[in-house]
């Protein structure tokens, strides 16, 4: 098993190219199930979750050709409709195949998902919406069994709470449904927006793209011709490297980045003292001499993203004063706290609120990654810790960050991947 060894240093300098967004790639790969043609996708990140989903599609009978940052997915050869536990257990996003398989074939079996243990992420909202569209749903022996022998029917769906994967799943299900489907309280994340835009460009008429109310006009079972497209830049990867610049008080330039997707992160970093130079597809962080404390509340897009909470907690350990971080989306997303405390961080928890007292001197030690974003928080802390930090269980990190250690090495970090 691999681990990362990081020697704390004073500053970084250089340019980092941001990869395609993992969280946009996954639903868009699942979307190829709706296509009658071979789908060409560019700017894919080289991360474990992408390979897992492509393996799942291959097991269902699809042909997937993945080279560099491009993939060609041919789903006309799909001949299985059961997504088995051995793959789904490793990645919660595998549930994204439920909607497109069901709407295309009228039946499917998908194992209940696994993945990061950051809290409950139930799929009941997905299942309730599919039932409203006419599906018969049963859960047996750890599998969701869904049937819609006469196809799914368009209807009005109101999500009780915002769900990103739920919105994506129902968009894809509605694409081949009979009639019109309206989703109220839909997620507005850029990754959901791109899914809508690609389908819209492929002949699926979708109204309200980018808003909380989406209307999808289904094709009544007719497969679509999906044009070649490129994955949007990864806003969470970009936010993580901006935090690397802020915590090490370094000037870093990020390229291939969409700053419109980073408004909440940029605003919070400016509040903490950083300054930015922004062009059409690049952003340079100019850090301040002192890091100011802040208050972070995680909420759905366009508010501050939960996927940046851990990174900002690491940054807050170096702020001059007390920061408050409130996690409103996942009840178990503070598992990185104990590992940061091992490094010397002064953090106290009260339910879903963390109080971070800074500035503290962090010391290198052995720490363990507990989930994807917690991994990156430990990397940030290690960059400014005295001595050497060994970060174990980085398979979590590999699920969502493309070549993190290489990108950091290129800007001067003393980081290397080793074997246990």
- Tokens for 367? 């720490």
Strands (E), 291-338: 295-297, 322-326
Q: What is the 3-state secondary structure (H, E, C) of 11-65?
A: CCEEEEECCECHHHHHHHHHHHHHECCCEEEECCCCCHHHHHHHHHHHHCCCEEE
CA distance 370 to 378: 10
Decide: residue 108, CB within 10 A, 0-12 exposed, 13-18 middle, 19+ buried. buried
Query: Dihedral (C-alpha) 294, 298, 303, 304: value to the nearest 10 degrees?
Result: 50
Return the H-helix or E-strand segment holding 206: strand 206-207
Looking at 116, 155, 196, 243, which residue is catalytic?
116
DSSP 207: E
- Tokens for 131? 């039932």
Q: Is 146 in contact with 137 (CB distance < 8 Å)?
A: yes
Q: Is 143 in contact with 113 (CB distance < 8 Å)?
A: no
Would residue 116 show up in a list of annotated catalytic residues for this protein? yes
- Tokens for 112? 């209940």
For residues 282-300, one letter each, b for 16 or more C-beta atoms within 10 angstroms of the residue's C-beta and e for the rest, the string is bbbbebeeebbbbebebeb
Helices (H), 257-335: 263-271, 309-316
Strand-strand pairing, 414-419 and 2-7: antiparallel
CA distance 248 to 299: 27
- Known catalytic residues are 116
């Amino acid at each position: 098993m691999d681990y990362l060894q990081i020697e704390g240093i004073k500053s970084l300098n250089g340019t980092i190219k941001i990869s395609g967004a993992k969280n946009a790639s996954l639903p868009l790969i699942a979307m190829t199930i709706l296509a009658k043609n071979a789908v060409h996708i560019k700017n894919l990140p080289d991360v474990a979750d992408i390979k897992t989903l492509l393996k799942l599609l291959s097991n269902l009978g699809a042909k997937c050709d993945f080279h560099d940052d491009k993939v060609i997915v041919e789903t006309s050869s799909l001949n299985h409709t059961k997504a088995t536990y051995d793959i789904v257990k490793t990645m919660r996003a595998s549930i994204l195949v439920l909607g497109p398989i069901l709407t295309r074939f009228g039946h499917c079996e998908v194992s209940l998902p696994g993945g990061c243990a950051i809290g409950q992420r139930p799929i009941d909202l997905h299942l309730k919406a599919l039932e409203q569209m006419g599906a018969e749903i049963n859960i047996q022996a750890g599998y969701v069994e869904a049937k819609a022998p006469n196809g799914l029917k368009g209807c009005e769906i109101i999500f009780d709470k915002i769900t990103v994967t739920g919105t994506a799943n129902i968009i894809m299900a509605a694409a081949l449904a009979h009639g019109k489907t309206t989703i109220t309280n839909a997620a507005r994340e850029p990754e959901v927006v791109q899914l809508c835009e690609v389908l819209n460009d492929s002949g699926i008429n979708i109204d309200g793209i980018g808003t909380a109310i989406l209307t999808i006009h289904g094709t009544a079972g007719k497969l679509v011709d999906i044009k070649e497209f490129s994955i949007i830049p990864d806003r969470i990867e970009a936010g993580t490297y901006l935090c690397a610049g802020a915590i090490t008080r370094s000037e870093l330039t990020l390229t291939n980045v969409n700053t419109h997707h980073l408004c909440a992160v940029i605003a919070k970093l400016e509040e903490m003292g950083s300054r930015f130079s922004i062009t059409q597809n690049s952003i340079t962080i100019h850090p301040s001499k002192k890091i100011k404390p802040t208050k972070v509340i995680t909420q759905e897009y366009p508010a501050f993203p939960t996927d940046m909470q851990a990174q900002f907690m690491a940054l807050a350990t170096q702020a001059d004063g007390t920061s408050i971080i409130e996690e409103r989306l996942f009840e178990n997303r503070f598992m990185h706290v104990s590992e940061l405390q091992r490094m010397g961080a002064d953090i106290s928890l009260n339910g879903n609120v963390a109080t971070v007292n800074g500035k503290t001197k962090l010391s290198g030690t052995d720490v363990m990654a507990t989930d994807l974003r917690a991994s990156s928080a430990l990397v940030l802390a290690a960059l400014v810790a005295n001595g050497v930090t060994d970060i174990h269980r980085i398979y979590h990190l590999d699920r969502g960050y493309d070549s993190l250690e290489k990108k950091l090495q290129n800007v001067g970090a003393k980081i290397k991947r080793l074997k246990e």
